[in-house]
């Protein structure tokens, strides 16, 4: 079977994107998904995303990690699927879509996508780190120097150990550059390696830094290896709402495999 795919990236977080409105793709075929994401034998990506029809909204997003398993929300993937829907002519400059963590709204102007993320009402603060869920679970810890940090080794240890165990957690290492600018490196579960960028990760970092008092700003720039993302939010009595993840989403190429 020949499959048409599109390759998208958002600040270096890359995805195989498939138009599955005709239900041509077998979502249970984890080996095929892992093969397509394989950087040596397949297309190569951090994850695979299916765009599907939805009864009430513009479309539905179905996201798989590079290991072939369906996963929790992917922020950069969410921005990329909005760009993909715009490319397909399904939307103009606004979108409302359903993902595994619920409803999302987004706007797109040129290649810049602003994606509304879920409200965050629970933040667990510990001596060494902060834990919160921004559509995916995230461990956030401050570090003095990210340049020499072995993100893959340390991230893997944290990801599999107590209290995360088998379910695992994404791990973010953060260094403060200024009051509204932070450097971020992320180890992603499912990819089981450091990625160039993580959308739910930088969202978690921005909110965690505000919660810890590292910044009073509500528009924060997060510098990742793949480029800069911005996160804005509002603080309320229950936590954080009106959370927006803002950054570029770009079509890399189209192909058949």
**At which residue do the structure tokens 């990625």 appear?**
195
Q: Pick from 174, 241, 159: which is nearest to 209 by CA?
A: 174
Q: Cis bond leading into 177, ω under 30°?
A: no
Q: Please indicate whether residue 74 is annotated as part of the active site.
A: yes
Bridge pairing between strands 181-188 and 13-19? unpaired
Which listed residue (74, 80, 169, 211) is catalytic? 74
Count CA atoms within 13 Å of residue 168 on its CB side: 15
Residue 80 falls in the annotated catalytic set: no
Distance, C-alpha 134 to centroid of its chain: 9
List % helix, strand, coil for the chain (3-state, nearest 5): 20, 45, 35
User: From CA 39, how far away is CA 35, in angstroms rounded?
Assistant: 9
Q: Of 12, 11, 47, 8, give the one whose Cα is nearest residue 248.
A: 11
**Sign of torsion over alpha carbons 197, 199, 201, 205:** positive
Mark 138-177 as b/e (b = at least 16 C-beta within 10 Å). bbbbbbeebeebebeeebbebbeeeebeeebbbbbbbbee
Closest CA to 19 of 212, 254, 233: 254
Residue in 32, 93, 18, 25 with CA at minimum distance from that of residue 66: 32
- Selecting among 37, 80, 169, 198, the annotated active-site residue is 198
> Could you say which DSSP state residue 28 is in?
T
Active-site residue list: 74, 198
């Amino acid at each position: 079977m020949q499959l048409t795919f599109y390759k998208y990236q958002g600040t270096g977080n890359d995805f195989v994107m498939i138009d599955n409105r005709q239900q041509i793709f077998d979502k249970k075929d984890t080996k095929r998904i892992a093969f397509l994401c394989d950087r040596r034998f397949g297309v190569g990506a951090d994850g695979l995303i299916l765009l599907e029809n939805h009864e009430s909204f513009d479309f539905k997003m179905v996201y798989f990690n590079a290991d072939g398993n369906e996963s929790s929300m992917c922020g950069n993937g969410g921005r990329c699927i909005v760009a993909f829907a715009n490319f397909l002519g399904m939307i103009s400059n606004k979108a409302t879509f359903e993902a595994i963590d619920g409803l999302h709204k987004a706007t797109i102007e040129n290649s810049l996508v602003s994606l509304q993320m879920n409200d965050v009402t629970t933040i667990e603060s510990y001596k060494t780190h902060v834990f919160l869920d921004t559509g995916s679970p995230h461990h956030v810890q401050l570090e003095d120097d990210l340049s020499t940090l072995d993100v893959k080794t340390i991230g893997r240890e944290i990801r599999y150990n107590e209290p995360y165990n088998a379910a695992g957690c994404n791990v973010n290492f953060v260094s403060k550059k200024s009051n509204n600018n932070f450097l971020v490196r992320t180890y992603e579960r499912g990819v089981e390696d450091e990625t160039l960028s993580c959308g739910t990760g930088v969202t978690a970092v921005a909110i965690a830094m505000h919660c810890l008092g590292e910044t009073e700003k509500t528009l924060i720039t997060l510098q990742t290896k793949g480029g800069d993302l911005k996160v804005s939010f509002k603080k309320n009595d229950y936590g954080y709402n009106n959370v927006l993840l803002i950054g570029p989403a770009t079509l890399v190429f189209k192909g058949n495999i």
